[in-house]
Copies of this chain bind each other. A is one copy, B any other.
Amino acid sequence: MVQIPRTPTSADVARLAGVSRATVSYVLNKAGAVRISEATRRRVHEAAEELGYVPHAAARSLRAGHSRTVLMPAPAFPAGPLYGQFLSDLQGALGRLDYTVVQHGTAGPHGDTAARAWAELRPVAVLVPAPGLGPEGVRVLKRAGARAVVTLGPEAVEGAHALLMDHAAVGHHAARHLYERGRRRIGVVVPEEPGLALFSAPRLDGARRALAGTDATVTALPLAYEEPAAARLAARWSGLGLDAVFAYNDEYAMLLSRALQDEGVRIPEDTAVIGADDLMLGRLLRPRLSTVHIELPAGRELAALVDRAVRDPAAPPERHRVLGARVVHRESS
């Protein structure tokens, strides 16, 4: 049986460095208010290094009454490259402000039950991709010491700061573009994958509202991200009588375009196609794919908002519209 070494404590460090435990705590937790000589600091660091001691974040947060942990529940939908990059930028920016970003796993409970699980970690701030948090969840988190709760999604939640991402604008821009290109019978792809309704429903709705009162029609086209599903949709394409399609995003646009081309449908002559997200792959398709470019907030700005909210937990909730959308017109529409 292998001997597992005992975890060194701050008392061990204090003994080796010849200082008090309080001094160890001040030095290693970087408590700025206390003046400690450079020589003492060095002795403490050397003793900690030698013993392999690291401070206990949980103990520190119990003492301080709060942590530097920013909790981000993992999104319940498959994060594409665009959103993945956004999350990664944000984590980097928060890290540079000395926050520890932890992502809570996807599995398990949702909604306000999830909020209780997050609250157990006593984060100083919580950044929640919508949906998955109601006003009660916000209250649970704040009672557990979260100084800032920030939601990212289509709607604000009472008591939380809101970064409003208006996906209706994406559908609006796509539909207006197709209309202006002379199309009147417009299909809108609605992915069947769970979790994506959060984005697809407002995109469809935005397309509908953009064309309300015009002579154009909007047809919802449920579609799974699978070749056979796309082939089935393409096989009944002529019967649908559509002359354009907003394909939800670039990946669905690639899937559906290929199936349409395999059926002999010419793009854009017979059917104009537009995607969204402005991924590299759209530029590599032939014809080159038109798309809605989506602008997400810079990680740096969002990290600054979190930091501001942590410093002033009593400030009234902020609301920011953070999603920009514009059409990039290429050859497919």
Does A108 interact with chain B (Cβ within 8 Å)?
yes
Chain B residues near A284 (CB, 8 Å)? 227, 254-255, 258
Residue in B closest to A3 when the chains form the complex, CB atoms: B314
CB < 8 Å neighbour of A91 from B95, B107, B140, B258:
B107
Q: Chain B's nearest CB lies how many Å from the CB of A61?
A: 6
Query: Does A103 contact B106, Cβ atoms closer than 8 Å?
Result: no
A88 touches B74 (CB 8 A): yes
A79 vs B281: C-alpha distance when bound (angstroms)? 17
Contact B225–A143 (Cβ < 8 Å) = no
Quick one: which of A58-81 are within 8 Å of B by CB? 58-62, 67, 74, 78-79, 81
Whether the pair A59, B62 counts as a contact (CB closer than 8 A) is yes
Total count of chain A residues near the partner, CB < 8 A = 66
Whether the pair B225, A280 counts as a contact (CB closer than 8 A) is yes
Q: For A34, what are the chain B residues with a Cβ–Cβ distance below 8 Å? A: none
A232 in the interface, Cβ–Cβ < 8 Å?
no
User: In the bound complex, do residue B283 and residue A142 qualify as a contact, i.e. CB atoms below 8 Å apart?
Assistant: no
Q: In A291-321, which residues have CB < 8 Å from any B CB?
A: 313-314, 316
Q: Which residues from 81 to 130 on chain A have a C-beta closer than 8 Å to any C-beta of chain B?
A: 81, 84-85, 88, 91-96, 100-108, 116-117, 119-122
**Docked-complex contact B143 and A313, CB < 8 angstroms:** no
| Shortest distance between the CB of A269 and any CB in chain B (Å) | 19
CB distance from A114 to the nearest CB of B (A): 11
A118 CB to nearest chain B CB (Å): 9
* A185 located at the interface, meaning its Cβ lies under 8 Å from any Cβ of chain B in the complex: no
Q: Smallest CB–CB gap between A33 and chain B, Å?
A: 21
Residues in chain B near residue A39, CB distance under 8 A: none
Q: Could you tell me the distance between the alpha carbons of A106 and B108 in the complex, rounded to whole angstroms? A: 24
Q: A142-B5, A314-B2 are in contact. Are A227 and B283 (CB under 8 A)?
A: yes
Given contacts A59-B58, A314-B2, A101 and B104 within 8 Å (CB-CB): yes
Docked Cα-Cα span, A213 to B170, in Å, equals 56
Q: Is A57 an interface residue (CB 8 A)?
A: yes
Contact call A120/B225, Cβ cutoff below 8 A: no
Contacts A5-B143, A254-B284, A255-B284; is A119 near B62 (CB within 8 Å)?
no
Residues from chain B with Cβ under 8 Å of A4 in the complex: 142, 313-314
Q: A105 is contacted by which of B53, B58, B94, B142 (Cβ under 8 Å)?
A: B94
* A122 in complex: contacting residue of B56, B145, B313, CB < 8 Å: B56
A120-B98 Cα distance, complex, nearest whole Å: 14
Question: Given A54-B119, A143-B7, A105–B92 Cβ distance below 8 Å?
Answer: yes
Q: Which 10 A-B pairs have the closest CB atoms?
A: A58-B58, A95-B107, A101-B105, A91-B105, A103-B103, A92-B107, A102-B102, A57-B120, A54-B119, A2-B314
5 A-B pairs, CB-CB below 8 angstroms? A1-B314, A2-B316, A58-B61, A74-B88, A84-B84
Q: List 17 additional contacts besides A93-B107, A95-B105; criterion CB under 8 Å.
A: A1-B314, A53-B143, A54-B119, A54-B140, A54-B144, A55-B120, A56-B62, A58-B58, A74-B103, A78-B81, A88-B106, A91-B105, A95-B107, A96-B107, A100-B117, A102-B102, A251-B280
